[in-house]
Structure 1
């Protein structure tokens, strides 16, 4: 039985990934910072997973998790770096702690975990590492500068690491979702998050879980969900100077999408 670790497993996307891997018969290790959400996800699975409390913003917690993987789970087959954080807002309006959290959770922690499991995967000549990135790792927009900085960094790391490990039989991939129907997106929809999240179709956690399985199976460097949204992001990522003059039109379209999303979810804006 293959063994898989999912970080951020207590959240919407992480829970969906855990269920998808469980259906495939993987032996699961689920990590998150709070026991309640982990236990709730564990109760939905066909077999009891191992659960590990780990706050990825704490370097001490991350090192303890790495030590556990190296000593207790050296046979790990799949690592899914799914945990992430986004605090929308202008850089000047964010605290230094919020800036640091993005870099610790979205960038440093996944890199550290991948480095921890890589040697044994290399020695076996097989394994898969996948990170949930974001279209924010392809295109950077106002009020998400620090988030994009962390995700741009993660994308760059995956690209180089993929080239290093592919010849050794180890898969390294990134999954790039557009907006996903999770509590995080609900908060953004109601509390000043970017309306640009709502230009394209809002995906479900199960959509991202399916993309994650595709990445595990194929080892493809980048898997987009939906693929159509990636075309816009990659275009503007290649020509970032075009974003600012087109931003008012994009925001107008996005605001209409946000209003439709709020209405469809039955949220109150009062």
Structure 2
């Protein structure tokens, strides 16, 4: 008789979240899907083999995050996997974004996943098993103009994962980050049309299923950092180590990225929507 395993996914109604949900469902996990609206969760649930539990939670609200954490402790002490997938990006210069945009990045991309991992950790430590994975970004390795606030939140998340990984590994709990390059989701479409970094399109654009596969790899191995694609991470990690190199080479990379962006828009039939 197989043992049922339980996984919680935030941002489950989005492109990457839905792909991760389907991948875990195929493995036989009992799923808890979290998002801020019910309609996307219903749509994802309709694609799954087993009916999931659906929880509404706006991760920008500290009160709602606390209620979710309390619910984990009361109802899901047997949680095996936590996937912090929810995220937000609002492209733009720092001086052009208002304080609300800054706060949203910090609350959703950084504070909420940390809070959820702190809530899940005692449950997993008590059983000496479990895996926590966060969808980070190559924006957590290298920071570029017009994404400074986004990168600040993701740099912070990467730093947290590194230290937390070291703390929990001896206790039998895995902590990992998945670092996608550009992924073909509505968020990327918005960036492509509204001033997001053209460097998203220097390398090939990944699919949500690619990131779901990387997430499963992180769950299985407990590796601290899983990159998708690995090739794109090489340049990001090089520039992340030597950030002074970014400005001299940026014009060339932007030229290549703009060519890739135009090809992407044409391939997705989005060119007519461009402002």
Q: TM-score, normalised by structure 2?
A: 0.98
Match of 2:145 among 142, 147, 150: 142
Which residue matches 2:242?
239
- Correspondence for 1:4: 7
> 1:120 offset after TM fit, Å?
1.5
Would you say 1:28 and 2:31 are equivalent positions?
A: yes
Flag as ranges the 4+ runs of structure 1 deviating above 3 A: none
1:1-270 aligned at under 5 Å gives the runs 1-267=4-270, 268=272, 269=274
In structure 2, stretches of 5+ residues that fail to align are: none
- Structure 1 portions without partners, runs of 5+: none
In the TM superposition, residue 192 of structure 1 has moved relative to its aligned partner by 1.1
Measure, in 2, the Cα distance between the counterparts of 1:183 and 1:13.
Answer: 10
Distance in 1 between residues matched to 2:63 and 2:79, nearest whole Å = 21
SS at match of 2:95: helix
Provide the rounded CA distance (Å) in 2 between the counterparts of 1:11 and 1:120.
Answer: 27
Q: CA offset at residue 122 of structure 1?
A: 0.6
1:199 Cα shift?
Answer: 0.4
Distance in 1, matches of 2:261 and 2:56, equals 34
Q: In the TM superposition, what whole-angstrom CA distance separates every residue of 1:24-58 from its partner, at most 9, and x where no partner exists?
A: 00000000000000000001000110000000000
Residue 174 of structure 1 deviates from its aligned partner by 0.1
For residues 117 and 198 of structure 2, the distance between their equivalents in structure 1, rounded to whole angstroms, comes to 33
Q: Secondary structure at the match of 1:46?
A: coil
Offset at residue 245 of structure 1 (A): 1.1
Q: Deviations over 1:130-181 (max 9, x none)?
A: 0000000000000000000000000000000000000111000000000000
Q: Structure 1 CA distance, aligned partners of 2:96 and 2:121?
A: 38
CA deviation map 1:52-101 (0-9, x unaligned): 00000000000000000000111100000000000000000101000000
Hey, what's the Cα distance between the residues in 2 that align with 1:230 and 1:157?
A: 19
